[in-house]
Structure 1
Amino acid sequence: MTSEKKVLMEIKNLKKDFKVKGKTKGGKKAVLHALQEINLEIYEGEILGVIGESGCGKSTLGRCLVGLHKPTAGDILFEGKSIRNISSREKLSLCKNIQMIFQDPYSSLDPRHTAADSVSEPMIVHKTVKGKKELEKRVLELFKQVGLDVQHMNRYPHEFSGGQRQRLNVARAISINPKLIICDEPVSALDVSIQAQIINLLKTLQKKYNLTYVFISHDLSVVKYVSDRIVIMYLGKIVEICRGGDIYKNPLHPYTQALLSAIPPESPEEEKERIVLSGEVPSPIGEREGCPMSGRCTRCMERCKKEVPELRNHGEEGHQVACFLYEKES
């Protein structure tokens, strides 16, 4: 991304902790550190992919951005204004501009509402349409845009397939013309053939309305296909940021390299070196020293066990990595 791009959202030193039962070895109350010192800029009109294994904090990040979780520390700026400690009126306006598509398409729909009711509700709450006729017209347009049959407007969620329910969630998310949509693993619960349809639908709508997406997933191939930039997370921290096309060409962080090596080769005849990370993923509960990857990294140095590397620019524009291996070269 170039400096000409407008920053839609800026995340500064974001932390999110959760209290858990029990105490640490030192007798202190146990705390789960879900996010640690997250610094990130989200540009207007881009698709920012966020990837990492289960428990890395990517979904927690998405929920903080949309306001479902209150950060423990740090700040989130939307269009230059902090969204922490805002008034009820400002929060309603923020909800209109930032929407979310959840992983489970069924649990995110009210089973008592018809499909038409689910799509029309945000427009009624935010008063984006005038009168019943305009509302019905807008719902009809949205159904057509996401590929749903208008004859099914009065069906209930349990009468739809998984893919149809997710199309319904997409229609609901774009109904009030938001500026930013957080997509939290929106296709992981769907069949592979349906996944492709939903991904292509999201890309089409993004181009049509100049939407900004934060696309959270654990599938590298999906993230690479949709993303302009990619963020790689490990144990609550960002370890690498790069352009979408660079993730396969030039992975820098040992964790990114290990992730890519786990993807099966396209051809059975193709030989691929597998990078195996030894040991277990460290617990996010309690305090710890050094790089979160130090106990599993094959290239770990003594410094890695005591200090935490910061994200630094390396090589091509916009490519950042948090690893001491590249500090001398940067």
Structure 2
Amino acid sequence: MQKNVIMSVDHLSKDFVIRGKKLGEKSKLLHALSDVSFDIYEGETLGIIGESGCGKSTLGRCLVKLHKPSAGTITYNGKDLWNLPVYEREAARRDIQMIFQDPYSSLDPRKTASYSIEEAMKVHHIGDTARERRQKALEYLQEVGLDIQHMERYPHEFSGGQRQRVNIARALSMEPKIIVCDEPVSALDVSIQAQVINLFRRLQKQFNLTYVFISHDLGIIKYISDRIMIMYLGRVMEFYTSEGIYADPKHPYTQALLSAIPPESPFDKKERLPLTGDIPSPIGDQVGCPLAGRCPHCTERCKKEIPKLVDTGNGHMVACFLYE
């Protein structure tokens, strides 16, 4: 069955300018993303995982037009997302929503849950009257497990899980096609995390949603994702199906990440593959593979060249000279 590509990212890069703190000191470039390319299929969950600072959140913000890429293109439904005609920009903003990591700071503390949802619909001209928007707000709150009694509550009157449900309801009210989830459960208790993850899965089937799910939790990514992209220092290290990566990780970085997962039984023994050495700085010119100083298979070539993603079979993409 042919899958429909809803969004395509082609050679995306994002640099941030770091200005000198001293008089006369030159500005430097921080390379948050470097030459990132991938496709997102309609109805799937694409998991993005990596260490803190690897560029996951920056990538998500580029997808929802919060950060403008320094180079490369993002194509949505066959059109360049950053060069859409004026009359198509508003529709694209509705279609691509984002749920942030901190549910409290994502809501206005002075506004009720109902107001936050209704205001978003009003801005995007959803609903003809205030009564209709209020009814829709109630319906979406009920979809995420809340009720009419929660409509007039303020953010501080909710628990962390309830606040995130309000954020999910607000995103749903836009009737989106893609939702970028930036570590949406990392600030929640473990017991609440499972409830919210199951809510995401139910809503995906019900509304035919496409997720880009960003996380550093290996267990959650395995549970919710159809395909997984492993990132390190702004580059894609490995890209394949969830089952394939967990069953047969090929990149040394992926192998080290997965070896950190605790065994299911305390009596099971599992070999740990720690990465030694210092993490290179993303500031300035990058020479060679970003993992070169920490990889046990590093060669002189790794220190001089940046490996490209190559297909090792069945679409299993790996950026490592071992598989050329």
Identity %: 62
Q: 2:211 aligns with which of 186, 210, 213?
A: 213
Question: Secondary structure in 2 aligned to 1:95?
Answer: helix
Match of 1:38 in 2: 36
SS class of match (1:245): helix
Q: Tell me how far 1:119 sits from its aligned partner.
A: 1.3
State the distance in 2 between where 1:109 and 1:60 align.
Answer: 21
Match of 1:226 in 2: 224
1:279 corresponds in structure 2 to: 277
Matched, 1:69 2:64: no
Amino acid at match of 1:71: P
Cα distance in 1 for partners of 2:79, 2:290 equals: 32
| Aligned partners of 1:224 and 1:247 also within 8 Å | no
Counterpart secondary structure, 1:141 = helix
Report the equivalent of 1:189: 187
1:103–1:189 Cα contact (<8 Å) kept: yes
Structure 2 gaps, min length 5: none
Q: Which position in structure 2 is the counterpart of 1:11? A: 9
User: 2:291 aligned with 1:318, yes or no?
Assistant: no
Residue type at the aligned position of 1:113: K
In the other structure, the counterpart of 1:60 is: 58
Mapped to 1, the partners of 2:196 and 2:47 lie a distance apart of: 16
The amino acid that maps onto 2:315 is G
Tell me the distance in 2 between the aligned counterparts of 1:87 and 1:74.
19
Task: State how far apart, in whole Å, the 2-side matches of 1:262 and 1:97 are.
Answer: 36
SS in 2 for 1:41: strand
TM superposition shift of 1:135: 1.7
Cα separation, 1, equivalents of 2:279 and 2:184 = 25
1:301 aligned residue: 299
Conserved 8 A contact 2:138-2:147: no
Residue 288 of structure 1 and its aligned partner are, at CA, apart by: 2.1
* Residue 47 (structure 1) aligned to one of 31, 45, 48: 45
Residues 20-169 of structure 1 aligned to structure 2 (within 5 Å): 20-22=18-20, 29-169=27-167
TM-aligned CA distance change 1:28 to 1:310, over 3 Å: farther
Amino acid at match of 1:42: I
CA distance in 2, matches of 1:7, 1:128: 27
**C-alpha contact (below 8 Å) 1:8/1:43 kept by paired residues:** yes
Cα–Cα, structure 1 residues 28 and 326, in superposed 2: closer, same or farther, change >3 Å?
Answer: farther
Instruction: Determine helix, strand or coil for the equivalent of 1:13.
Output: strand
Mind listing any 5+ residue stretches in structure 1 that lack a counterpart? none
Give the Cα–Cα distance (whole angstroms) in 2 for the partners of residues 14 and 247 of structure 1: 23
Q: Distance in 1 between matches of 2:150 and 2:268?
A: 47
Partners of 1:186 and 1:89 lie apart in 2 by 31
- Judge conservation of contact 1:232–1:240 (CA < 8 Å) in 2: yes
For 1:121 and 1:79, locate their aligned partners in 2 and report how far apart those are by CA, in whole Å. 27
2:287 match: 289
AA at the equivalent of 2:286: R
Q: Which residue of 1 aligns with 2:201?
A: 203
Q: Whole-Å Cα distance in 2 between the matches of residues 91 and 217 of structure 1? A: 28
Matched position secondary structure for 1:84: helix
Secondary structure of residue in 1 paired with 2:19 = strand
Of 267, 270, 280, the residue aligned with 1:269 is 267
Aligned length: 321
The two structures have a TM-score, normalised by structure 2, of 0.96
